[in-house]
Amino acid sequence: MQDIEPYQHILGLKSPWSVDRVQLSVEEEQIDVFVSAGWRC
């Protein structure tokens, strides 16, 4: 399960920005949050 909504809220991201994915490493005590933007051309 990968619930990205809490991370989006914590970071205060608004459209067009959104959390693309989250990677959790318990061993390294690290959370990587990948952010993307959907721009219109």
**1-41 tens-digit pLDDT:** 468 999 999 999 999 999 999 999 999 999 999 999 987 77
Report the pLDDT value the prediction gives residue 1, as an integer from 0 to 100: 45
d(CA 5, CA 22): 10
User: What's the token pair of residue 25?
Assistant: 């490493």
d(CA 8, CA 26): 21
| 30 Cβ contact list (under 8 Å, min separation 6) | 24
Determine how many CB atoms are found less than 10 A away from the CB of residue 19.
20
DSSP class of residue 28 equals T
Would you say the pTM of this structure is higher than 0.85? no
